């Protein structure tokens, strides 16, 4: 049979064959992508393990050499050396989904060790809450039975750390419970903490974290009727950034919001600039658990498709010109931290504009020492809890009104 006498056009035969191949390709594409992701993850885990096999012994040798040779400043102890090595290596090598899983499991482990992972104690201290544009957990002594702010002396809206890309509202549940117990013991204060489960980058870039906090604040003030004088914004690392940026948004755009700023800010090792050029990024790079690569990666994810520069005050509040009018603020930083210089600069700038700030520089401590117990040295976390208590409630116990 000649080509001209085919029962259907040659073009149709080619099109039918191509269509069949496309269908087969579409069928196997997800499997191919999944296989590639699995292989990449296995390679990343293997590479991480190899690096740790090299870096952990090196950290031990560095610790020994510092013991033998007199140093000008106090050196990290062995536990800090190992913790910093492991955290940096994980954050620099593993895929984001696996880092998120490890963050979650660290919180679960701490909760299990303290009986807060499940059961009656968990239900007593923690309940899920949500509102328009936000969700999270209420943490308090009778969280399941009480409304947010019910008979509370203070309500803290808390934004967790994790570079805007990892972490969760309950990773620090054990710490929150310890705070509430300690402040009740020292001042007779009843505290509620609303820990936010905000959307993570890169899927949820700026302003997701900030807007979640502002939405929660609006709900508490305008729907729950809680006075701003009884509300504090708080956060660690990236969460500290969100707290400052949200307070500045309320301060600088009063016509856009129907609520004034909160009574105070609690900032634990806050990320106040994502530009890693300050002196402490150099002189603390071998001391801290925070990795410069991690800061860069998280910044790229958080700025995704926003067309904002890292120096924009919405991203790096250190560069905001007007800080006057910010609520009184409590700030802490470890003197091993990469962020130490930026935090110090922010404190000095705010004080020059008459912002009342209590500033704590804890010797021989790393990033987030006040909320990550394994990183705390010389009882740094416990001291931070006491400092916050005095800042929030004063030196005397709270006098309760007789009902």
pTM of the model as a whole: 0.90
Domain-embedded: residue 90? no
The predicted-structure confidence for 201-213, as pLDDT tens digits, reads as follows: 999 999 999 999 9
The total number of structural domains in the chain stands at 1
Helix (H, G, I), strand (E, B) or coil at 351: helix
Q: What is the CA radius of gyration of the chain?
A: 25
Report the CATH number that the domain containing residue 317 is assigned in CATH: 3.40.50.1820
pLDDT of residue 398: 66
pLDDT of residue 78: 94
Domain-embedded: residue 347? yes
Domain-embedded: residue 12? no
**Owning domain of residue 328:** 116-393
Domain-embedded: residue 11? no
Backbone phi, then psi, for 365, in 5-degree steps?
-130, 155
pLDDT of residue 5: 54
pLDDT of residue 17: 56
Domain-embedded: residue 76? no
Contact 267, 279 (CB under 8 A): no
The predicted-structure confidence for 226-260, as pLDDT tens digits, reads as follows: 999 999 999 999 999 999 999 999 999 999 998 99
Domain-embedded: residue 3? no
Burial of 7 (0-12, 13-18, 19+ CB in 10 A): exposed
Q: Is the peptide bond before 207 cis (omega within 30 degrees of 0)?
A: yes
E-strand stretches of 171-279 = 191-196, 231-236, 264-268
Domain-embedded: residue 247? yes
Print pLDDT tens along the chain (403 aa): 444 455 545 444 455 555 555 555 556 566 667 777 788 889 999 999 999 999 999 999 988 988 888 888 899 999 999 999 999 999 999 999 999 999 999 999 999 999 998 888 999 999 999 999 999 999 999 999 999 999 999 999 999 999 999 999 999 999 999 999 999 999 999 999 999 999 999 999 999 999 999 999 999 999 999 999 999 999 999 999 999 999 999 999 999 998 999 999 999 999 999 999 999 999 999 999 999 999 999 999 999 989 999 999 999 999 999 999 999 999 999 999 999 999 999 999 999 999 999 999 999 999 999 999 999 999 999 999 999 999 999 877 765 543 3
Q: What residues does 138 pair with on adjacent strands?
A: 127, 194
Burial of 54 (0-12, 13-18, 19+ CB in 10 A): exposed
pLDDT of residue 401: 43
Domain-embedded: residue 42? no
pLDDT of residue 158: 98
pLDDT of residue 402: 39
């Amino acid at each position: 049979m000649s080509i001209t006498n085919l029962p259907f056009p040659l073009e149709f035969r080619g099109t039918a064959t191509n269509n069949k191949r496309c269908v087969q390709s579409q069928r196997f594409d997800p499997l191919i992508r999944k296989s590639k992701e699995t292989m990449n993850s296995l390679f990343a885990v293997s590479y991480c393990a190899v690096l740790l096999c090299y870096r952990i012994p090196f950290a031990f040798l560095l610790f020994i050499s510092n013991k033998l040779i007199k140093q000008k400043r106090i050196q990290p102890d062995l536990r800090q050396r190992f913790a910093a090595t492991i955290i940096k290596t994980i954050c620099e090598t593993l895929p984001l989904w696996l880092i998120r899983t490890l963050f979650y499991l660290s919180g679960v482990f701490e909760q299990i060790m303290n009986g807060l992972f499940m059961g009656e104690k968990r239900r007593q201290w923690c309940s899920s809450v949500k509102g328009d544009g936000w969700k999270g957990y209420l943490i308090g002594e009778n969280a399941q039975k009480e409304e947010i702010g019910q008979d509370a002396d203070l309500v803290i809206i808390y934004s967790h750390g994790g570079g805007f890309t990892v972490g969760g509202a309950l990773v620090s549940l054990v710490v929150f419970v310890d705070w509430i117990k300690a402040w009740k013991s020292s001042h007779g204060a009843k505290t509620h903490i609303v820990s936010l489960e905000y959307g993570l980058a890169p899927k949820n870039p700026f302003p997701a974290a900030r807007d979640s906090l502002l939405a929660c604040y609006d709900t508490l003030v305008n729907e729950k009727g809680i006075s701003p004088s009884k509300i504090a914004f708080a956060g660690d690392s990236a969460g500290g950034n969100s707290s400052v940026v949200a307070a500045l948004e309320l301060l600088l755009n009063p016509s856009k919001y129907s609520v004034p700023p909160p009574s105070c800010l609690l900032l634990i090792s806050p990320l106040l600039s994502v530009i890693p050029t300050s002196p402490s990024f150099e002189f603390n790079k071998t001391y801290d658990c925070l990795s410069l690569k991690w800061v860069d990666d998280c910044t790229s994810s958080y700025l995704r498709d926003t067309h904002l520069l890292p120096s924009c005050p919405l991203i790096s509040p250190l560069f905001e010109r007007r800080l006057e009018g910010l609520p009184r603020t409590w700030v802490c930083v470890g003197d091993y931290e990469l962020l130490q210089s930026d935090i110090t600069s922010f404190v000095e700038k705010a004080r020059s504009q008459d912002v009342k700030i209590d500033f704590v520089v804890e010797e021989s401590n790393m990033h987030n020492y006040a909320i990550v117990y394994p990183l705390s040295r010389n009882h740094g976390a416990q001291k931070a809890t006491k400092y916050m208590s005095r800042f929030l409630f004063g030196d005397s116990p709270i006098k309760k009104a007789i009902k």
